Structures are given as structure tokens and as C-alpha cells.
Amino acid sequence: MAKDLIVSSSEAAPQGWAARMFGKLGGGRGAASEKGGKQRFAGSAEKKIQSLTQRLVADDRYIFVLLGEAVENIEDQGIGPAWKALDDQMALVPAGVVQVVRSDGAVQPTELTGYYLDRCAVTNQQFQRFVNAGGYDNLEIWPQEVWPSLMRFTDQTGLAGPRGWERSKFPVGKAEHPVVGVCWYEALTYAHWVGKRLASAAEWQKAAGWPEHLSGGCGNRYPWGDIFDPTRANLWAAGRGQTVPVREFPKGATPNGIYQLTGNVWEWINDPLESIPCHSHETFQSWKPLRRIVGGAFNTYFPAESTCQFITGQPELDRCDNIGFRCAISVDRIRPHA
């Protein structure tokens, strides 16, 4: 079944995963014939592959269709909708150097290959598909170290789901709001379920601060430039006092169309954080494992805390009402566009 395409490692779906899935449906290479230089399967197998492809796209799991190892088993007409979904939902961030700010305040030049980043934070409606597919019930898809905590990942009614939901359903009227009340492990597992991963600190900083100045990878403070503008982001100064739909504040989007990298909700990224910088030469050491969060939220009072270079974190099992996430995938995982 489509929902079986899930992995639990710290990376996105390993190479060969999608090929095994589509190859199994197609009956393996022995069941295929060659036509026009391209592998073809018997009619029943092709229908199964087409059905799986359609379900994956409908569930926002289109990446599995576009992974290089899966493409040889899919007809061109099946790949088209997946490419459209990728173009609609993710933006390409080109390769380059970014000056990553470390937790000790030092700046470290980091070279990145190209990658795609979700245009928007993952919404309640998108996360609902993961819940409906039994994502919380399948122990095998979660990292083993979090197994003892899985029973805590419940909503207000004690059922599986983000902390603020009820009866495993998101709040009425908030389908397009970012999902919140999920810990870092929930974000990580959802990202793998859709064939992606969480972004690194370097990737997030490059996307949010792009385009770079000519001084060698030094990005902007905000997605729109270096001067704070309260009309471009859902921070405290905007006066909303709660989350808004993920495509609001379009004036604050990056030049390549990524929304709300500043404001609305903090976002989990992949990087651990050993300490949080406080004052000059001082840090806060947590007794709980920390993961970095970035971008600020609707209740962030100081704009400086929402800049692309600001460093803070949260215990990785915390489920806060102002922290969400978005996903990424490396360009080299995707088949070349025909």
C-alpha cells in the first residue's frame, strides 16, 4: 500500500526504496518488456503503478514518484502530475556558499548543493493525511529512541495527533494554518513519510537570506532585506495574536516564492543545539536534548529574534503551539526534468 512507503532513518527515503515499491507492483524486471527504449509492464501492472502514483500525488507524497530510482517504472504521463506538484509546493534554492552563524557566535562558510524547500510550512490539512494513514500507529516508521515517548503524542482528547487537535482532527477553519503542537520527532517522521527530510540550519539560513550580498555568501537579515517591516510577517508587531494561513503575508516571501520564513510559527530544523547564546560570552545549557528552531512566530516580540541569523532552540520532545515545520529534499535525489 502507498502508506507503506515510509522510512525511519535520519535521512529522507533511502535510495532504492521507491524502486523496490514500483518494481514490486510491476512484477519485477522479468515481467517487463522494452518498447521504444523504455521499460514497460503488462497492462495490470501498469494500472497498479498508475493507481499508486495518483495516490502518492494526492497525499502530497509526490517525491516518491520523482526519485531517480523509481522513474524507469513509471510512464511519462504519470510523472507529469508529480512534477506539477513539486513546482507548486516547493521552490528551488540554488547551490552556493552561506555564512552560517554557529551557536558560539562564530561564522562558518558552508558550501551547499542545490535543494528544494517547501514554499509553505506543513499545514493542518497535510498533516491530517499522515494521521489518517495511521502514521502514529506504525512503530516501525519512528526512530527507535523515541519509542518510549510515542504514547505521549496525543491530542486534547487522548487520541493520536498534534497537541491542540481533538479526536484526531485539526481545529475547524484552520485547514490552511501551519500544524503546531508537534515535537521534533513528529516533524521528522512526517517529512520521511512524504519522502523528504528536515532542512539543515545552513539550508534554512540560505533560503531565508537569499539573494546573498556580493560579499561572499552573507545573506539578508530577513527574506525581503535588512530592514524589519511589520507588514511583511506575522510577528507580535502585526497584531494578529495567532497563526494565519500559510500563504498570508505574501510581501514577506522570498524572491523565489517561499512564504513565512519569518513569522507565523517557529520551525523545527534538523540541527541539534548544544547550548543557546544569551549574553556576551554566556550560554544556556539545557539538560534536555535541544533542536534548533528558526524564524520567529506570531507571538515573537523582538524582531531581532526572527532574523535569518538568530540562534535558539527547544527541547526536541516539546509540543508547542507556536512551532511548526517545513520539509526539504536535495536536488540530486530527483530525476532530471525531461
pLDDT tens digit sequence for 207-225: 999 766 544 556 899 999 9
Which of 104-113, 259-268, 277-286 reaches the highest mean pLDDT? 259-268
The stretch 300-327 carries a mean pLDDT of 96
Q: Which residue has the cell 518488456?
A: 33
- Please check the confidence at residue 133 and state whether its pLDDT lies above 80: yes
- As a whole number of angstroms, the distance between CA 18 and CA 25 comes to 11
Cell of 249: 503575508
Mean pLDDT of the chain: 85
- Please check the confidence at residue 194 and state whether its pLDDT lies above 60: yes
Confidence label for 284 from pLDDT (cuts 50, 70 and 90): low
Is pLDDT larger for residue 128 or for residue 38? 128
Which residue blocks in the chain are alpha helix, DSSP H? Answer: 17-25, 43-58, 63-66, 76-89, 124-132, 184-193, 201-209
Residue 43 pLDDT: 59
Confidence label for 73 from pLDDT (cuts 50, 70 and 90): low
Confidence label for 333 from pLDDT (cuts 50, 70 and 90): very high
The stretch 237-263 carries a mean pLDDT of 98
Spatial neighbors of 186 by CB under 8 A, at least 6 apart, are 153, 162, 319
Torsion region of 97: left, alpha or beta (phi above 0 gives left; psi -120 to 50 gives alpha): beta
Residue 92 pLDDT: 97
- Please check the confidence at residue 172 and state whether its pLDDT lies above 70: yes
Residue 84 pLDDT: 94
Check if the beta carbon of residue 73 is closer than 8 Å to that of residue 16: no
The stretch 307-324 carries a mean pLDDT of 96
Residue 288: count other Cβ atoms within 10 Å of its Cβ: 10
Residue 79 pLDDT: 86
Q: How far is CA 114 from the centre of its chain?
A: 16
Cell of 277: 547564546
Enumerate domains of the chain plus CATH numbers: 2-89 (no CATH), 92-331 (3.90.1580.10)
- Please check the confidence at residue 32 and state whether its pLDDT lies above 60: no
